[in-house]
Structure 1
Amino acid sequence: MAVFDPYADPSRTLRIALAALLLAAVVATAGAFAADPEAAAPSPVAYDDVVELGLSSETDALMAGSARVPRTQVFYSQLQYVVGYNGVESFAATLDDGRTERQFGYPIAAYVETFDDARPGTTGAGLFESERLGEWTPADEAVYVVGSEARSPAGETVVPFRERGAAEAFVADHGGRVVDWETVRGRSFDTDSAATVRAMAPERWAAADDRIAAAERRADRPVSVVVGEDEPTVEAAVAAAPPNTTVVVPPGTYEETLTVNESVTVAGDDALIRGDGNGSVITVRAPDVAITGVTVDGSGGQTRDPDAAREGREGGGPADGGAWDTNIQLGYGHGDAGIRAIDAPGLVVDDVAVEANASGLLLREGSHAVVRDLRVDGADEWQDGFMGITGMRSRVTVTDSRFEGGRDGIYLHRADGSVVRNSTFTDNRYGAHLMYTGDALLADNAFENELFAGITVMTRPSGNAIVGNDVRNSSAGIQASGTRTYIGYNTLVGNGLGFSTSSRGSLYERNVAANNEVGVRATTVVPSSRVVANDFVGNAEHATAGAGALRIWADGDRGNYWEGANLGTHEPGERAYRPTSPVDGALHRHVAAVAVRESPAVALLDRLRGTVPGARSGSITDPAPAAAPYSPERIDAALAPNAGPVHADWRAEPDERDGSTDENAAMNARDRDATSGGIGRETRRVDAEPTVTSARATTGGAGGA
């Protein structure tokens, strides 16, 4: 770019830059008064036309029949989109946070869904319901029932009414009290946030420890049958074994396929079970089966079953899925695999290797599994193979495993509560790929040379925690959609894109994005997440943003570290940094940009930003850029020659991992108290097993965070 050529004539460079910036300022000013301040308040729109915040579509899918979440739609003074909040409390939580008004302007009109004539009540499970959708009423003209027995999957529910009499009738049947809009605005609601997901991440790790320990106990059974001594084949031995015993498979190659119909352990000792190239090699159709110490190959290469998908669509498919979802569940879930489990909860797979022609391990219909030390070698070309693990409606706990080649290392579909940790992914299409899967933990994994991305989460789930992962030399590091996601302490080096902020009402903190083409990309049209205390170093571009409102990436006086942000005459933290600005974005690459940054034209443009809608669109600002990296030791370790994966000790207490300072303690307290867009309380837990509330152990890797 000629403007920032350090060998060009400095005076000519500065003149060109100043002219361009002054022109931008004039254009921005021309549009400042395009809206008529005397215009009447806009009328409500169809809710399908709003940009939704609040609950995820997946949470909505959990609500059967007439269950509803009262909705709000809001028109902001500096936002071209109408914002829809699922849950009145979601909107109320944003009114005094400061960030919303700076990004969107002030609310010029807000409407709530009132239920006077909709026969409101509660379901047998206590969810709020109504026979019909409500009617739109201005928020300050409605009355509200708070503290009633009516709930939603998000937790506490505020129920609006147009007339006080209707509200009092609801209170008579369901409890609570009637209040006005100002009271709702000042009320504190029992809601969770992405910070809550952060606090729960160590509990999910501990829950995985409990599952693994329970799996070890299930697999440890007395020996009843030895292949070659008591029965000639593995299949015959499994058929002969009494329940809750072990079948021993001595060293050797066993050319056969088998079905396990009893709760037994199949324990190999350097044993290879090889199929004939058709169908799955081992099929499990019983609960609490364990398969250990074997190598499996020779499965068929069918990655999906078109007949199953067609029959499913003709028969209506899964009740909560559309045609596309049905195709995925009935197609992907009906291919070949080295090990296939169907309606087989409690499966244990330990010390197993699979040469995968299609899926390595396929879990279907509630086949919740614990997987440890699984090695799946997939096809060299991802189009020729399939998934290392395919989990369809089956929660999986994976640890200390390796996935190389094939389509996706792990693909999970409606597998809430899954945990994938301490595992390695190489040369896949996607490393870990989640669809419709929430409340999961992806932690301390290493991804390298992933064609599309290391971690990808699609279809708007909620409550996922993605922490401590290392992604290198891939097209993208982490791309996670949904709501209330916690993405923290990840190390993203040498990728096309470090991470994207695709999840709403989420928290992105303490990530290191170094030497990527783009460090981070802002993708949501209406920002509702916090991006704070991340380190951006050596990226060709630290950040880019698509269309949408101004994104403010800081929390109070704590921003992010942007290499080059504090160049110039300002003291650290005195001037905002805008990574999407042509000048600010070049500070870490071009010396001449410093002189342009201090020009009067830029100062004028700075004053216009934040007040002129045209100067806000598609941009990012950090009003409190950090003077030094938050994780310098992790940066050094990640960029060292021949560096391996680097993991942070994210499970330590905040004051231990961030430094024991009063400032950090205050910021962590603020994180715990924040609502992050008002996403509601989590009602689904990891599982029904007991959990430990703190886990302090760590598992290797260079730290420093």
Structure 2
Amino acid sequence: MEFWHVAAAGVLVLAAVLGPFAMSGGSQQVTAVPMEDTKSTGVPENVVVRAHESTLALPTGQVAFSQFKFTVGYYGITSMVAGLQESTEREFGRPMAVYVSDFTGTGVYVGGDGLLRTPMDADPGWMTARTAYFVVGSTASIPTRNQTLVPFSNRSDAIEFTQQYGGRLERWGAVHQLDVGVAGRSASEWQRFSETRSKRADRTAARARSLLNRPVTATVEPNESLTAAVQAAPPNTTIRLASGNHSVSDITIDKPLTIRGDGANRTRIIGDRNRSVVYVNTSRVAIADLSLAGIGTVRTRDSANVTSVPVRNESFRERYWTTHGYGDAGLVFERSARSLVMDVRMQTRANGVIARNSPNLTVSNLTVVGTQDWEDGFLGVSILGAPALVQNSTFYGGKVGVFAHDTQSFTVRDSSMEGMMIGVFSVYAQGAFAAGNDVEDTYVGVYIHDRSNRNVVTRNAVENSRNGVLVFGRSSYVAENVVTHNRHGIVVQGQYSVYEENVAAFNRVGIRAMSLFPTNRVTDNDIAYNRQYADTARFNVLHVWQGNYWRGAPGVDTDGDGSLSRAFRPTGPVGMVADGGTGAPTLARSPTLKLLRQLQQTMPGLRFGGVVDASPRARSGHPTLLDQLADTQRPPGQFDDEDEWDFTF
């Protein structure tokens, strides 16, 4: 009798849920909303900010879906077309209304740079896509998009635009079918992109190492003036520093030189603890084989005390520049292209290396020992405004191991970070490449912030941290990472990104879906031995993934194709107890749950949020690695020590 009581209660609950859908006639008109009220996607957010601050024009669109809580806004109508072509009704439901921006009467034009522009006071309104006249194939473009669709409500305005800038007129039915490419890269495209980034880093490092081959023109003893030697040295030569302590107030290098010690344990440059130790303001400078001490303790300076910041005052970028680029450091590079830091060691309560607009700086075999408590220290390496390479380096303590802001690409590879707030931190930077790093005892191991795209996070190992890998932004690749014994292993954020071949094991939560825009492809990952398979944000968003291995998921591979015969919902009542739960298979076959599944398939309005794997993998893709991890005998989410942010050295 008890089962039937439960079933009856379930029917009552279903009736309450289905009631609103049964009574709705679907005739309510969906109106356009301000773009800032949408859940937006499309071009990177830094381009959106740039458009708000300039005459740059971005054709926009928005779609209201029947089963998605939010109106989806698209910066770039090609992005909207691609999104509509890829989206499935299971994730979003059917499109109920499509709106696009109206450039009639805005004075829209194509600038000399080929970018679509309008006067600063222009304010395009909204119109339904079916009433718009789209200019296709004109010379107009927007940043990161070669093909731009420009919509007008007035046909004569659209024709006038084509007469000036080329192209043809199309209506929404044809535009909706245009071949505009996919919204994100495929896995194979990402793999090729990752290989290209690795080879580019190899070339940058090899070119930088050549700076160590310059002829030696001076050798400086500890009792001699290093500053005088720098002033007297011819360009493109090497100054050798003999073993011992070389005391300086500060050194400014304004010619291409190599300063090389006798080893980090034998040669030390010691500052006066009041400022940065070495300033470099020219290109092709190398600092190698020595240690630095006596670094000032000012972590960051107030913007009132900073001059010549290379960004517009009061822009969103200025605060990040002043906060992270002008404190005391062992080495400061200013507009120094293709320079090198190699086999250098330092201990600091402030910053290790600061690079401001110094393209292709290479930092190799650097060791930075920061503070035991992260609140007392700051940044190991700070990269601002230009690409840089950090490799084979070690960071202990402080706030952040490697920080990057306002760059178009940067690489951090084969390095280790321990006992800090964040290991690798990208803030409003593009093209992060974090590969092969070992991170432990952090708040976040690898953190790629918003307003970014083209990020690659691969082959990193993160453990004993609150969050293993957290990637915001658009169009990123998160692959082959191993995250263990963290509170949250992998946090799926961002949009149109690929998460594949990762291993999340022995975490409190293996994988966490936090994106409110369910367009990420999550496949071929191993989620095993976690206290909880998955978790989601508290919104009614359905994330449909496929091909992942969920240890203990109920079902069998009936046809031998490597997948279980049934879908698996790791955030559902079965999934929450499946890994190690003996009653999970029985619960999965219960009549009440079967009734719920059938109703979800037949009633489009009845859809719950969470994660569902449409075709879960029957076997692990990394069985040997999972066996090795299981042999450690450490329970899920168990940290090595009570303070997960400290380090031992």
CA distance in 1, matches of 2:5, 2:618: 30
Find runs of 4+ consecutive structure 1 residues off by over 6 angstroms: 14-17, 568-571
Quote the residue 2:115 is aligned against.
127
CA distance in 2, matches of 1:24, 1:536: 32
Larger displacement relative to structure 2 (378-387 or 53-62): 53-62
- CA shift digits 1:186-237 (9 cap, x unpaired): 11115662434443111111111111111112332111111029x9122221
**SS at 2:211 equivalent:** helix
In the alignment, which of 118, 133, 142 is matched to residue 143 of structure 1? Answer: 133
Quote the residue 2:63 is aligned against.
74
In the alignment, which of 575, 580, 591 is matched to residue 584 of structure 1? Answer: 575
Q: Is the 8 A contact 2:555 2:565 kept in 1?
A: no
Q: Is the 8 A contact 1:526 1:548 kept in 2?
A: no
Distance apart, 1:578 and its partner CA: 0.6
In the alignment, which of 283, 287, 290 is matched to residue 286 of structure 2? Answer: 290
Quote the residue 1:91 is aligned against.
80
**SS at 1:202 equivalent:** helix
Quote the residue 1:358 is aligned against.
350
* Structure 1 segment 551-590 matched on structure 2, within 5 A: 551-554=542-545, 558-567=546-555, 572-590=563-581
CA distance in 2, matches of 1:541, 1:66: 49
CA distance in 2, matches of 1:53, 1:234: 54
- Output the amino acid matched with 1:90: S
CA distance in 2, matches of 1:598, 1:17: 15
CA distance in 1, matches of 2:166, 2:556: 61
Distance apart, 1:563 and its partner CA: 1.1
Q: Is the 8 A contact 2:410 2:431 kept in 1?
A: yes
Ranked by relative contact order (alpha carbons within 8 Å, sequence separation 6 or more), the top structure is 1
- Output the amino acid matched with 2:492: T
- Output the amino acid matched with 1:310: A
- Output the amino acid matched with 1:616: R
Distance apart, 1:81 and its partner CA: 1.5
- Output the amino acid matched with 1:42: V
In the alignment, which of 98, 108, 118 is matched to residue 96 of structure 2? Answer: 108
Quote the residue 1:207 is aligned against.
200
CA distance in 2, matches of 1:48, 1:192: 21
Larger displacement relative to structure 2 (523-532 or 187-196): 187-196
TM-score for both structures, normalised by structure 1 = 0.83
Quote the residue 2:340 is aligned against.
348
- CA shift digits 1:82-103 (9 cap, x unpaired): 1111121222223343x43211
Closer/same/farther in 2, CA of residues 418 and 619 from structure 1, 3 Å limit: same
* Structure 1 segment 12-31 matched on structure 2, within 5 A: 22=11, 24-31=13-20
Q: Is the 8 A contact 1:18 1:596 kept in 2?
A: no
* Structure 1 segment 432-511 matched on structure 2, within 5 A: 432-450=424-442, 452-511=443-502
In the alignment, which of 295, 304, 308 is matched to residue 300 of structure 2? Answer: 304
In the alignment, which of 125, 143, 165 is matched to residue 174 of structure 1? Answer: 165
Q: Is the 8 A contact 2:283 2:335 kept in 1?
A: yes
CA distance in 2, matches of 1:369, 1:16: 70
Quote the residue 1:544 is aligned against.
535
CA distance in 1, matches of 2:584, 2:603: 24
**SS at 1:428 equivalent:** strand
- Output the amino acid matched with 1:117: G
- CA shift digits 1:553-597 (9 cap, x unpaired): 33xxx5211112234797753211111112222111311222121
Distance apart, 1:34 and its partner CA: 5.6
In the alignment, which of 166, 171, 179 is matched to residue 188 of structure 1? Answer: 179
Q: Is the 8 A contact 1:341 1:367 kept in 2?
A: no
Closer/same/farther in 2, CA of residues 495 and 352 from structure 1, 3 Å limit: same
Q: Verify: 1:152 aligned to 2:110, yes or no.
A: no
Larger displacement relative to structure 2 (192-201 or 478-487): 192-201
CA distance in 1, matches of 2:193, 2:627: 29
Quote the residue 1:224 is aligned against.
217
CA distance in 1, matches of 2:315, 2:4: 58
Q: Is the 8 A contact 1:465 1:485 kept in 2?
A: yes
Quote the residue 1:275 is aligned against.
271
Closer/same/farther in 2, CA of residues 342 and 316 from structure 1, 3 Å limit: closer
Q: Is the 8 A contact 2:67 2:605 kept in 1?
A: no
Distance apart, 1:455 and its partner CA: 0.6
Larger displacement relative to structure 2 (281-290 or 220-229): 220-229
Q: CA RMSD in A?
A: 2.5
**SS at 2:262 equivalent:** strand
Larger displacement relative to structure 2 (509-518 or 540-549): 540-549
Larger displacement relative to structure 2 (60-69 or 595-604): 60-69
CA distance in 2, matches of 1:316, 1:399: 27
Closer/same/farther in 2, CA of residues 142 and 549 from structure 1, 3 Å limit: farther
Distance apart, 1:504 and its partner CA: 1.1
CA distance in 1, matches of 2:9, 2:271: 68
Q: Is the 8 A contact 1:61 1:320 kept in 2?
A: no
- Output the amino acid matched with 2:438: A
Larger displacement relative to structure 2 (287-296 or 196-205): 196-205
Q: Is the 8 A contact 2:557 2:618 kept in 1?
A: no
Give unpaired runs (5+ residues) of structure 2.
635-649
- Output the amino acid matched with 2:304: R
Identity of aligned residues (%): 30
Closer/same/farther in 2, CA of residues 89 and 593 from structure 1, 3 Å limit: same
CA distance in 1, matches of 2:229, 2:5: 82
- Output the amino acid matched with 2:114: G
Q: Is the 8 A contact 2:68 2:541 kept in 1?
A: no
In the alignment, which of 141, 163, 169 is matched to residue 154 of structure 2? Answer: 163
Distance apart, 1:404 and its partner CA: 1.1
In the alignment, which of 321, 325, 330 is matched to residue 329 of structure 1? Answer: 321
**SS at 1:66 equivalent:** coil
- Output the amino acid matched with 2:553: A
Closer/same/farther in 2, CA of residues 192 and 216 from structure 1, 3 Å limit: farther
- Output the amino acid matched with 2:299: T
Give unpaired runs (5+ residues) of structure 1.
1-10, 644-705
Larger displacement relative to structure 2 (391-400 or 492-501): 391-400
- Output the amino acid matched with 2:82: A
- CA shift digits 1:572-624 (9 cap, x unpaired): 53211111112222111311222121111000111233566775343111111
- Output the amino acid matched with 1:238: V
Distance apart, 1:513 and its partner CA: 0.6
**SS at 1:429 equivalent:** strand
Quote the residue 2:639 is aligned against.
none
CA distance in 1, matches of 2:602, 2:369: 56
**SS at 2:616 equivalent:** coil
TM-score for both structures, normalised by structure 2 = 0.90
Distance apart, 1:447 and its partner CA: 0.7
CA distance in 1, matches of 2:581, 2:9: 17
Closer/same/farther in 2, CA of residues 23 and 216 from structure 1, 3 Å limit: farther
In the alignment, which of 378, 390, 399 is matched to residue 398 of structure 1? Answer: 390
Distance apart, 1:413 and its partner CA: 1.1
Quote the residue 1:695 is aligned against.
none
Closer/same/farther in 2, CA of residues 563 and 344 from structure 1, 3 Å limit: same
CA distance in 2, matches of 1:529, 1:154: 20
Closer/same/farther in 2, CA of residues 251 and 642 from structure 1, 3 Å limit: farther
Closer/same/farther in 2, CA of residues 473 and 611 from structure 1, 3 Å limit: farther
